[in-house]
Structures are given as C-alpha cells and as structure tokens.
Amino acid sequence: MAEAKIRKLVIDSLKPREISLVDLSKALCEVYGADNVSIVVNEVDANTETVTITVEGDDIDFEDLIETISEYGCAIRSVDAIEVYKDKSKSKNLNNM
C-alpha cells in the first residue's frame, strides 16, 4: 500500500534567544525521519528571534517535530512550505520490520 510521506517542511517560528541555534537544530535532527535541518535567522528582537526552520528527510514525523520545537520554547507561526511524496515501494509498517 502506498503511503504519503513528508520529505521537506519549512516552518516560520519565533525562538527565545536563550536557545542556541546549534542545540535547536541538533534536537530537530533527532526527530524521526529527519535527515537535514537548517535554520536561518530572519529577525532579532530583545528576547526573541524569528527563524525559518527547514527540515528534510525521507519520512518526517510531523507531530514529533512540532513537539520538539515546542519543547525548546519556540512558537510556530506558520508552515510556509511542505513537500510530500507517495512512497509506492513499501509501506511504513514494512519499513519498521
């Protein structure tokens, strides 16, 4: 059975300045299915930074990603771009076996 999987996500987020980009990006890279993470700072305020988070991978776990972003005290403003593909070769269950 073919399954739709997330390959790329671009998220606009507001990050507390105490959280370093290195720590946040490393934590996001630990999310299930994420292989590459890049974060770009767009704007710097007194306490916060507006950042664009780009996550790429074979099968990104969206819920896990959102949870990790929230755990690091970041507010998600919008999902600006998404790339989803249909994995016709095998289902997620078979992958896990």
**Which residues bind to other proteins, rule: CB under 8 A?**
14, 16, 18-19, 23, 45, 47-48, 70-75
Closer by beta carbon to other proteins, 70 or else 91: 70
CB of 11 to other proteins, least distance (A): 14
Contact 79, 11 (CB under 8 A): yes
CB of 63 to other proteins, least distance (A): 16
Burial of 18 (0-12, 13-18, 19+ CB in 10 A): exposed
CB of 45 to other proteins, least distance (A): 7
Closer by beta carbon to other proteins, 10 or else 76: 76
Specify the DSSP class assigned to residue 18.
Answer: T
Contact 63, 6 (CB under 8 A): no
